[in-house]
Amino acid sequence: MEKEILHLAENAVKQSIIKSLTEGYGNPLSKLVGQVIDNHSQELTNIIDEEFSSMITSKEFKRGLKTALNEKLAKVLISRMGGELEKQVNELKQNPVTRAKITTAINKVIEEN
């Protein structure tokens, strides 16, 4: 029983030390890391700037950015035009001539396959 109480006390002290060093606003480790970053801020800025510059000028980044922009633009256009497209499709469905042409075209595709 004494060993168990000692073990629990040791764990409680350990947890308390960890918590006081790592958790909460203004903990000591956070302050120390902040000081180290401040001391090396120019070096870190140079490294980040160098990597950012090389990333922006790379073909892969440009290609990826263009793809992402195109996908986003397409989604925005589709969402904004959705109602207009539905309206046009409904008008086409209501026109008997257009409806017959669509049916004929679908039948041709089915026959070819």
Give the domain extent around 41: 2-80
Residue 25 lies in a domain: yes
**pTM (two decimals):** 0.41
Residue 112 lies in a domain: no
Alpha carbon separation from 21 to 18, 103, 111 (Å, rounded): 5, 74, 75
Give the model's confidence band at 98: pLDDT under 50 very low, under 70 low, under 90 confident, else very high.
confident
Residue 20 lies in a domain: yes
Residue 98 lies in a domain: no
pLDDT for 62: 92
**Angstrom distance (rounded) from CA 93 to CA 99:** 6
Residue 60 lies in a domain: yes
Give the model's confidence band at 21: pLDDT under 50 very low, under 70 low, under 90 confident, else very high.
confident
Over range 25-33, report the average pLDDT.
79
Give the model's confidence band at 42: pLDDT under 50 very low, under 70 low, under 90 confident, else very high.
very high
Residue 90 lies in a domain: no
Residue 58 lies in a domain: yes
Total structural domains within the chain: 1
- Smallest Cα–Cα separation from 61: which of 48, 76, 51? 51
